[in-house]
Every structure is written in structure tokens, then in C-alpha cells.
Chains A and B, each alone.
Chain A
Amino acid sequence: MARVGTGTIFLIAVLTIAVISKVCFSSVAAEAPPVKTIVVEEVKTEQEAGADRITSQQVEEARLVTAERIYGLLVLWAVILLVIVVLRLQIRDDEKLYKEGYYSQDLE
């Protein structure tokens, strides 16, 4: 019971301080003066005007498989196969060590 009472008093005290602080001490930067804007019209060349929207045809062109992309893919496969060969060499070495009992020993 005493804990409930203490808790309630604490809660009321915190809320009171919070409300008083907000009402009396909160500071907001002074409002900037009202802004008047005028409407202007942009002068654009023809190519600039049409360049905004991307068309389906452009998307289809971007999807084409080019020679450069195939070349990049082959390079990637070459590196991946290199890594796999190295890993399999490592696996072979580790298997040998396992048979010799290296991995069964407890580490310090």
C-alpha cells in the first residue's frame, strides 16, 4: 500500500512539473515574417521538357542483355570458381587434420 501511495505521489509530482514547465518555459522561435511569393513560368528547351518521364521503351532497353553484362557475368563466375577451388583445398586439408585427430583436441 505504501508503495502505491509513494508511486502515486511521485507520478503527480512529475506531471505537475512537466505541465508547469511546458506552460511557462517553453520557447518557440519567433515566427518568420509572412512570405509573399509570385508565380513564374519556366523557359525550357524541348528536350528538357520531355525528359522527365521515363517510358516503357527505355525500361525495355535497360533490360537488354549486352555483351558487357555477359563479360561481367563470366568474370564473376571465374572468381566464384576460384574461391570454390581454394575452399575445397582447405576442406581437404581440414579433413586430413580431422583424421589425425587435430580437431578432437580441446582448445586451451
Chain B
Amino acid sequence: MKLKESLLSRRGFFSGLIYGSFASLAALLGYPAVRFLFHKKQVPLPEAVVVARSEIDTIAPNTAVYFQYGYLPCILLKTETGELRAFSAKCTHLDCNVQYQPDSKQFFCACHDGYFDETGMNIAGPPPSPLLSFTIRQENDTMLISYPSNQEGEQSVV
């Protein structure tokens, strides 16, 4: 059945062509722009970090010190019994750096009042999970702290 009049006017057709071709041009130009803007730089973490014995001996019992593991800020705790534990210093709630409180033997996050115990377990406040803990190994006269391949990393005793 032939129609008397076209459903699409000539101007409508041209408008459609123009929109369509500009859209395809925009898509073609937009692809490299989007890939450029959404690039993520991979910053690898080191396999392990080495701490000298002399440094460890300067840490008093029941105190914690900070160290850098690649781009991660971390905290090294020496308990009253002399045991060494290493955790990521970033609170699991919203990434503020935690501090060790020797009186209560807890890690405290000042941003939103989060608390972790000596083993890094989240005990009070908003943090949803424990502090990331690192594996510590003794090698000759140094301690090797490494990123755990599994979350239940072993903690060696000094």
C-alpha cells in the first residue's frame, strides 16, 4: 500500500542525518578521551620490607611505631610480652590512620570513634572488619614484614 505523503519530511530526514552523523563523530572522538581520563596507574606494593634488629630494640614494650609499606601506612606494635605485630594503620571504616592507646591496649580511630583490640579485631564503633595484619618473619638479624597472601597470616613470636 503506497502512502500519499511521506511520514518523514525532507527536513526531518536531514535533521536525523545530521544528529546521527554528529553522534557518531562524538563517539569516535570520545573513545580515546574516555580511555585517557579513566586510566588507573598501577602502583605495585613491595614483596616485603626489612627492619633492622637495632630499630626493633628501640621500641618500648606496649608501644607502637609507624612505618611505610610501599604506599600503605602501617603500624608495628610491640606488646607487653615483647611480641611483635604489624597491621595496616588505615581504619577499615573510612581509611583514617589509627593510633595505639597503651592505657587501654587498643587501637583507636579518632575520625569516628572506632576501636580495635591488640590483635587488630574491631571491637567498637563503625569499623566493619579487623585491621589488615601482616606476616612477620625473623631472618638472621632482621625482621621481614610481608603482605599476607591469605588473611589469616601467621604472627611469629620474637
Q: Do the two chains belong together in a single complex? A: yes
Which chain B residues (70-99) contact chain A, with CB distance < 8 Å? 70, 76, 99
Task: State the total of A-B contacts with C-beta under 8 angstroms.
Answer: 74
**Size of the chain B interface, CB-CB below 8 angstroms:** 33
In the complex, the answer to whether A42 meets B14 with C-beta atoms within 8 Å is no
Q: Using A90-B14, A93-B10 as known contacts, say yes or no to A36 and B44 having CB atoms under 8 A apart.
A: no
**Size of the chain A interface, CB-CB below 8 angstroms:** 26
> Smallest distance from the beta carbon of B21 to chain A beta carbons, Å?
4
> Smallest distance from the beta carbon of B77 to chain A beta carbons, Å?
12
In the complex, the answer to whether B25 meets A80 with C-beta atoms within 8 Å is yes
In the complex, the answer to whether A38 meets B76 with C-beta atoms within 8 Å is yes
In the complex, the answer to whether B67 meets A37 with C-beta atoms within 8 Å is yes
> Smallest distance from the beta carbon of B78 to chain A beta carbons, Å?
11
Complex Cα gap A24–B132 (Å): 42
In the complex, the answer to whether B67 meets A38 with C-beta atoms within 8 Å is yes
Complex Cα gap A56–B21 (Å): 40
Question: Which of A1-9, A10-18, A57-65, A81-89 lies at the interface with chain B?
Answer: A81-89
> Smallest distance from the beta carbon of B116 to chain A beta carbons, Å?
16
Contact of B18 among A29, A36, A43, A87 (CB under 8 A): A87
A100 contacts the other chain (CB 8 A): no
Closest residue to B20 on the A side, CB-wise?
A86
B48 contacts the other chain (CB 8 A): yes
Complex Cα gap A82–B21 (Å): 7
> Smallest distance from the beta carbon of B73 to chain A beta carbons, Å?
9
Q: 1/0 per position for A49-89, CB-CB distance to B under 8 A?
A: 00000000000000000000000000110011011001101
A22 contacts the other chain (CB 8 A): no
Complex Cα gap A32–B72 (Å): 19
> Smallest distance from the beta carbon of A25 to chain B beta carbons, Å?
22
A35 contacts the other chain (CB 8 A): yes
- Tell me which residues across on chain B come within 8 A of A80, comparing CB atoms: 25
In the complex, the answer to whether B47 meets A39 with C-beta atoms within 8 Å is no
Contact of A40 among B10, B21, B145 (CB under 8 A): B145
Residues of B within 8 A of A (CB): 10-11, 14, 17-18, 21-22, 24-25, 28-29, 44, 46-51, 55, 58-59, 63, 65-70, 76, 99, 110, 144-145
Q: Which 3 A-B pairs have the closest CB atoms?
A: A42-B46, A40-B49, A83-B21
